[in-house]
Amino acid sequence: MAVAVAVAVAVAVAVAVAVAVAVAVAVTVTVTVTVTAGQRGSGAAGQRR
C-alpha cells in the first residue's frame, strides 16, 4: 500500500512538473513572438516596448 501511494505521488509530481514546464515554454514562446512581431511591425514604437 505504501508503495502504491508513493508511486501515485511520484506520478502526480511528474505530471505537475510537466504541466509547469509546458506552461512556461508556452508563455516564453508567446512573449518572444509578440515582442518580435511588435518590433518588426511598428519600427521604433515596437522596439520601445
Quickly list DSSP for the chain. -HHHHHHHHHHHHHHHHHHHHHHHHHHHHHHHHHHHHHHHHHHHHHHH-
Which tops the pLDDT comparison, 31 or 15? 15
pLDDT tens per residue across span 17-47? 999 999 999 999 999 988 887 766 555 555 5
**Domain limits, the chain:** 19-49
Q: What is the pTM of this model?
A: 0.60
Q: How far is CA 46 from CA 25, 29, 34, 38, 42, in A?
A: 23, 18, 10, 5, 5
Q: What is the pLDDT of residue 47?
A: 54
Q: What is the pLDDT of residue 35?
A: 82
Which tops the pLDDT comparison, 41 or 16? 16
